[in-house]
């Protein structure tokens, strides 16, 4: 399904839909099991990098298989959307629409304002013919967005959002309020330290900017990228078993919980899945040096991801029970 109804209900209900990236079968199994057990609507996201890694046709059919699998798990009416994450050209978006994706993102946020509008509008005009919803982005996140890079974060300008949404006709808008991609969202210099634990405490998100945007576009679906919380238990587990992830830090879950109650109705999480999987694999390999059957270490990795996805759905986004 596309995101239209999912988002309308999420905005009205004060919760957010999880948008989880997948690149392989184990991630997809964990996502579908978590969504089916909690009866949560879910967005399966495929990036350009994922298409290059796993093959675009295979991923598309895996998503179709995910719907059948969800039913097999006893979820009678699965609410699953297949979404292109960070599409960077009209051609890529068109390819996904033509393949049967139900939603696409055109990320032209690195382009000048008028060029962002022109490209987004072109994608919207094409996608809407097939009832495919379109996410656009205004404002630039710090760090790397696939091949879109920016040295620093440029918050979305609330004074631009009405003009942008009206002229492009986009269905949802990704905004920049201080989140960023990856496991290193802030430098230690940008953080304070908890005196008791010595852990980094990140600076707060710009909720004032979010609220200004909400006032300008009442009820319009807002998206947060870069919303992994980088659980320190996974960072510690990686580091304990041979990893090296110094000062990895994410967005505190209390802030995401607060955002989910607002017009933010889609929250993107990828890095936390990578951390859960890697932490579990590192632990398993360290404790079982004789194992060489991938199923032996991918099974606990899948279990750890599923646990993490359920936690996000139930305790952070509040989307459980919304797709009974
Ligand atoms: O926002 C980016 C997503 O985490 C996808 O990352 O391009 O490495 O697949 P990727
Ligand atoms: P994280 O790197 O914080 O998981 O963000 C993922 C994302 O925004 C995918 O588009
Ligand atoms: Zn993103």
Residue nearest ligand 2's atom 1 by CA: 226
Average of per-residue pLDDT across 27-54:
98
Point out the least confidently predicted range of 35-39, 90-94, 109-113, 145-149.
Answer: 145-149
pLDDT at residue 153 in the model: 60
Ligand 1 pocket member 236 (CB < 6 A): no
Ligand 1 pocket member 27 (CB < 6 A): no
> Residues 217-248: pLDDT tens digits?
999 999 999 999 999 999 999 999 999 999 99
Spell out the domain ranges in the chain.
4-317
Gap from CA of 291 to ligand 3 centroid (Å): 35
Tokens of 230: 């980088």
Q: Which ligand is nearest to the CA of 53?
A: 1
CA torsion through residues 161, 167, 168, 171, sign: positive
> Residues 150-207: pLDDT tens digits?
445 689 999 999 999 999 999 999 999 999 999 999 999 999 999 999 999 999 999 9
Q: How far apart are CA 11 and CA 265, in angstroms?
A: 6
> Quick count: other Cβ atoms within 10 Å of Cβ 137?
27
Ligand 1 pocket member 214 (CB < 6 A): no
| Cβ atoms 15, 322 nearer than 8 A | yes
SS (H, E, C) 102-134: CEEEECCCCCCHHHHHHHHHHHHHHHHCCCCEE
CB under 5 Å of ion ligand 3: residues: 225
Closest CA to 234 of 176, 204, 277: 277
As beta bridge partners, residue 81 has 43
Q: How far apart are CA 171 and CA 165, in angstroms?
A: 8
Name the residue of 18, 23, 43, 49 whose CB sits within 8 Å of the most ligand 1 atoms, as the mutation to test its pocket. Answer: 49
Residue nearest ligand 1's atom 5 by CA: 47
Gap from CA of 182 to ligand 3 centroid (Å): 9
> Residues 101-121: pLDDT tens digits?
999 999 999 999 999 999 999
pLDDT at residue 148 in the model: 42
Tokens of 228: 């992994």
CA R_g for the chain: 19
Which is more confident, 29 or 147?
A: 29
| Cβ atoms 50, 60 nearer than 8 A | no
**Ligand 1 atom nearest 23 alpha carbon:** 9
> Quick count: other Cβ atoms within 10 Å of Cβ 154?
15
CATH fourth-level superfamily of 4-317: Aldolase class I (3.20.20.70)
> Residues 56-105: pLDDT tens digits?
999 999 999 999 999 999 999 999 999 999 999 999 999 999 999 999 99
Gap from CA of 239 to ligand 2 centroid (Å): 22
Q: How far apart are CA 121 and CA 171, in angstroms?
A: 11
Average of per-residue pLDDT across 246-255:
97
Name the residue of 27, 86, 144, 180 whose CB sits within 8 Å of the most ligand 1 atoms, as the mutation to test its pocket. Answer: 86
> Residues 295-320: pLDDT tens digits?
999 999 999 999 999 999 999 999 99
Gap from CA of 59 to ligand 2 centroid (Å): 19
**Ligand 1 atom nearest 48 alpha carbon:** 7
pLDDT at residue 143 in the model: 61
Ligand 1 pocket member 107 (CB < 6 A): no
Residues with active-site annotation: 85
Q: Which ligand is nearest to the CA of 268?
A: 2
Q: Which helix (H) or strand (E) holds 301?
A: helix 294-311
> Residues 12-24: pLDDT tens digits?
999 999 999 999 9
Q: How far apart are CA 67 and CA 166, in angstroms?
A: 33
Gap from CA of 227 to ligand 2 centroid (Å): 6
**C-alpha separations of 301 from 27, 115, 273, 298 in Å:** 9, 42, 10, 5
């Amino acid at each position: 399904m596309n995101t239209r109804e999912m988002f309308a209900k999420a905005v009205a209900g004060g919760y957010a839909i999880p948008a989880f990236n997948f690149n392989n079968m184990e991630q997809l199994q964990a996502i579908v099991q978590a969504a089916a057990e909690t009866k949560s609507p879910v967005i399966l996201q495929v990036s350009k990098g994922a298409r290059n890694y796993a093959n675009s046709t295979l991923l598309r059919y895996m998503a179709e298989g995910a719907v059948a699998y969800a039913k097999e798990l006893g979820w009678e009416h699965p609410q699953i959307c297949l979404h292109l994450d960070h599409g960077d050209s009209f051609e890529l978006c068109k390819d996904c629409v033509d393949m049967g994706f139900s939603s696409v993102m055109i990320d032209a946020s690195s382009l000048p304002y008028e060029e962002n509008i022109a490209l987004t509008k072109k994608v919207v005009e094409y996608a809407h013919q097939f009832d495919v919803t379109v996410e656009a982005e205004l404002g630039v996140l710090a760090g790397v967005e696939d091949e879109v890079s920016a040295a620093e974060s440029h918050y979305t300008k609330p004074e631009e959002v009405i003009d942008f949404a009206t002229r492009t006709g986009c269905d949802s808008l990704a905004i920049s309020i201080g989140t960023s991609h990856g496991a290193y969202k802030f430098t230690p210099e940008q953080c304070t330290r908890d005196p008791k634990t010595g852990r980094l405490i990140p600076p707060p998100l710009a909720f004032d900017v979010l609220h200004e945007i909400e006032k300008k576009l009442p009820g319009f679906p807002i998206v947060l990228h870069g919303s992994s919380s980088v659980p320190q238990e996974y960072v510690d587990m990686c580091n304990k078993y041979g990893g090296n992830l110094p000062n990895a830090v994410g967005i505190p879950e209390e802030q995401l919980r607060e955002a989910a109650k607002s017009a933010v109705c889609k929250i993107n999480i990828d890095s936390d899945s990578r951390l859960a999987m890697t932490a579990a694999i590192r632990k398993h390999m360290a404790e079982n040096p004789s194992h060489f059957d991938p199923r032996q270490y991918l099974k606990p990795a899948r279990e750890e991801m599923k646990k993490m996805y359920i936690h996000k759905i139930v305790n952070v986004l509040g989307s459980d029970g919304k797709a009974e």
